[in-house]
Amino acid sequence: MKIFIASDHAGYELKEEVKNELMKSYEVVDLGTNSVTSVDYPNYAIPLGEQVVKENGKGILICGTGIGMSIACNKVKGIRCAKVDNIEEAKLTRLHNNANVIALSSHTNYEDAIRYIDTFLTTPFSMEERHQRRIHEIEEYER
């Protein structure tokens, strides 16, 4: 599975730590940013979403709160990006929502970030009819 990762300036340091850990087990594509110099998060979140859809991968976004990037990324048709703050959210966003991208706050400590990401990457979609129906309803609205 190909993992795409991106951040803004606020998330740069955590992104680098997370990327280095993920590279031990996954093919990771870093879409930037490459420093703590101020940047606009949509310029990273949207291209990440496009790559996730194009290559049927998974994505990880990190910005100050995680909120801006999740909003921007969700503008890409086919993306279901969830802002995650704990293990339960990381699990349920895959199990119930079949999310393909998560967004984290740069204030998340490294150990928690790794746990959330690992949970996100290893939890399968439940395939229950009610969850499939709801995702279909969202996709129909995207037209």
The answer to whether 96 is a known catalytic residue is yes
Please tell me which residue in 63, 73, 81, 107 is annotated as part of the active site.
Answer: 63
95: tokens are: 């199990």
Q: Burial, 61: exposed, middle or buried (Cβ in 10 Å; 0-12, 13-18, 19+)?
A: buried
The separation between the first and the last C-alpha atoms of the chain, rounded to the nearest angstrom, is 27
The answer to whether 73 is a known catalytic residue is no
* Nearest alpha carbon to residue 52 among 23, 81, 25: 81
Please tell me which residue in 96, 107, 131, 136 is annotated as part of the active site.
Answer: 96
CB within 8 A of 17, min separation 6: which ones? 110, 113
What amino acid positions are annotated as catalytic residues?
Answer: 63, 96
